[in-house]
Amino acid sequence: MDSRAVIESVRDGRASPEGMAWFARGLASGKVTDAQAGAFAMAVLLKGVPEDCRVALTRAMRDSGDVLTWDLPGPVVDKHSTGGVGDSISLLLAPALACCGAYVPMVSGRGLGHTGGTLDKLEAIPGYNVDVSEPRLRALMRETRCAIVSASSRIAPADKRLYAIRDVTGTVESLDLITASILSKKLAAGLQVLVLDVKQGSGAFLPGVDQARALARSLVDTANGAGCRTSALITDMDRPLALTAGNALEVAEVMDTLTLRAPSARLLDLTCALSGEVLFLAKLAPSAEAGAAKIRAAIEDGSAAERFGQMVAAQGGPADFVERYASLLPEAPVIREVPAPGPGIVAAIDTRAVGTAVVHLGGGRLAGGDAVDPRVGFSALAEPGASVGPGAPLAMVHAASEAAAEAAIATLQQAYRLGEAPAPVALVQERVA
């Protein structure tokens, strides 16, 4: 078998699991050239591959580097989101699950495009270290039962190489390659249960509902085929998930929710829905609904906040972060109202534009090596159906300079459309299992 034969088999619609696995190993070893990897990615994008081939590719990419195994007195679980705006669910979900009998070695990523990254949010906490060794991760599982860390260079190196090539060859949108990329990294963490949050709407990478269904189906079938109990929820991203967008601002909203000082309803509801699904699949609850109730109780009795504080301290952050987060999180020097363009009711939000505005404020990366400013973003974002106008702004902008604030105000005003109140949209739209 060689690279050309595998590429031709995909191009001609006769891909085989053996060929996909061979190609993944060749990516990791260097036997496959960049040109061949680009041709392979384009062939997969244009022709697609059957489910057994997608499973074989995912497994081989997972096995191209380190794969963790665990000997713990409880199930090893995780959640993955396909990316959104104002989505800080992981920071709530990991400690809440740890309070309910699960172990959560969450390997997370940084911001991508208009979407925020879990690691960038956590690095707004002074001292929080996302780069931990495997022995330290194992110790964290024993100490706190949850950790949120970055992937080491030894996790799924075949995916790392193929992803970089997809980024410059116009093949990022391939459903099969998206599936293999997401799952190869997640499954390398040695998970027994995975729940996927597949976003649909103006702030999602794949905004159409049919696209979201197809991705959810692909992810669930492939992960189950690779031996990990998996389901997916398709959730609304036609508006920011929470009332803030920006790293330190989102951490503050998480803490307001964990401590019940000012709970964010949508954050809390989606955390319970996703975590309940995890507990059900992990056989820690008799149903997803019962699991959701256990998670809500862990948040309401303060144990999830306490566990979050333990995780922060164990990963280098302040020992008193839960008590003092408001004074410990960095604050932007310029904070201004974003006036509504006129009186009216919020009819719709271009959520992608909101995320892009945060990136241009410095809260994300326009190029790979850009530094992230954790202070910037938006708070108090007006929700669909809200009345805005004099005395009722669209949001508050947090910026590093007056000029940056002015540009962000103009962008956010364009992202909001005023008109008739929209019909209510369910936060969780479908379950795929």
Q: Give me the catalytic one of 185, 239, 296, 398.
A: 185
Q: Are 418 and 344 in contact (CB under 8 A)?
A: yes
Q: Tell me, rounded to whole angstroms, the distance of Cα 272 from its chain centroid.
A: 16
Q: Is the dihedral of CA 294, 273, 93, 61 positive or negative?
A: positive
CA distances (Å), 17 to each of 2, 13, 20, 39, 142, in order? 14, 13, 5, 18, 38
Our answer to whether residue 185 is catalytic in this structure is: yes
Our answer to whether residue 78 is catalytic in this structure is: yes
For residues 255 and 261, what is the distance between their CA atoms, to the nearest angstrom?
8
Q: Give me the catalytic one of 81, 115, 174, 235.
A: 81
Q: Are 318 and 312 in contact (CB under 8 A)?
A: yes
For residues 79 and 186, what is the distance between their CA atoms, to the nearest angstrom?
9
Q: Give me the catalytic one of 9, 64, 88, 118.
A: 118
Pairing mode, strands 344-349 and 387-388: antiparallel
For residues 249 and 351, what is the distance between their CA atoms, to the nearest angstrom?
17
Our answer to whether residue 176 is catalytic in this structure is: no
* Residues 6 or more apart in contact with residue 424 via CB below 8 angstroms: none
Our answer to whether residue 79 is catalytic in this structure is: yes
Pairing mode, strands 193-200 and 229-236: parallel
Q: Give me the catalytic one of 82, 181, 257, 259.
A: 181
Q: Give me the catalytic one of 78, 87, 176, 256.
A: 78
Q: Phi then psi for 14, rounded to 5 degrees? A: -130, 40
Strand arrangement of the beta sheet that strand 387-388 belongs to: 387-388, 344-349, 416-419
Our answer to whether residue 114 is catalytic in this structure is: no
Our answer to whether residue 80 is catalytic in this structure is: yes
Q: Give me the catalytic one of 59, 62, 121, 186.
A: 186
Our answer to whether residue 118 is catalytic in this structure is: yes
Q: Give me the catalytic one of 110, 166, 352, 375.
A: 166
Q: Give me the catalytic one of 54, 59, 62, 80.
A: 80
Joined together, the tokens standing for residue 332 give 């932007």
For residues 104 and 107, what is the distance between their CA atoms, to the nearest angstrom?
9
Q: Give me the catalytic one of 54, 59, 62, 79.
A: 79
Residues serving a catalytic function are 78-81, 118, 166, 181, 185-186
